[in-house]
Amino acid sequence: MVNDRLDILKKFFKKNRRLPSYSEMLSLFGFSSKNAVFKLINKWVEANLLKKINGKLSPTSRFFALPLLGNIKAGFPILAEENKNYLTLDDYLIEDPSSSFLLKVSGDSMTGVGIFDGDIVVVEKKKAPTIGDIVLAQIDREWTLKIFRKDRRRRINYLEAANPKYPPLYPHQELQIYGVVKAVIRKFN
């Protein structure tokens, strides 16, 4: 089966975080001639799974990506080849790795926007949040995750929970924004 070999290659990459060399592929695929590898690779380059830039081989985004399917309702959407979109989660979720970090959320103050206890949020360090952003902030020396709001009458910024249980937080002394929440992820089980 042709697809077996691609699976083998993907597994190698997942494990080693690099592509194998042609000689490594010899044993990986069970070939005994490097030319067999050569031809196979070129087929994958053709299929836009790999690419070669002056002899250097690298995977394309398609190599990793999972199919992204659209609406369900009537028919199962996976079957239509042209409807397929592909997505790698790291690329999708994290725009700037060097200024991002993950934060495990505790508490129920943000359930209104679908952030629950135990969820992980992607926070991007940022100077200027937009009103309405979910921010990681320090208010009067306490760190918290809340919605960034502006009180137009009093002309100050404050923090709001996404849960009616909690009152809005107006800073007595200081409100400092550390970062903006770009995404939430939650794993089941």
Q: Which residues are catalytic?
A: 109, 146
Per CB under 8 A, 181 contacts a second copy: yes
What residue 134 binds from a second copy, DNA, none (CB within 5 to 8 A, per partner kind)?
a second copy
Q: Which is nearer to a second copy, 115 or 161 (CB)?
A: 115
Using the CB atoms, write b or e for 152-176: b if 16+ within 10 Å: eeeeebbbbbbeeebeebeeeeebe
Least distance to DNA from the beta carbon of 140, Å?
Answer: 40
Per CB under 8 A, 22 contacts a second copy: no
State the amino acid at position 41 in one-letter form.
Answer: I
Least distance to DNA from the beta carbon of 137, Å?
Answer: 37
Q: Which is nearer to DNA, 19 or 115 (CB)?
A: 19
For DNA, the binding residues (CB under 7 A) are 2, 21-24, 31-41, 43, 52, 55-57
Distances (CA, A) of 4 to 1, 13, 48: 6, 14, 17
CA 130 to chain centre: 22
User: What CA–CA distance (Å, rounded) separates 51 from 41?
Assistant: 9
Least distance to DNA from the beta carbon of 63, Å?
Answer: 16
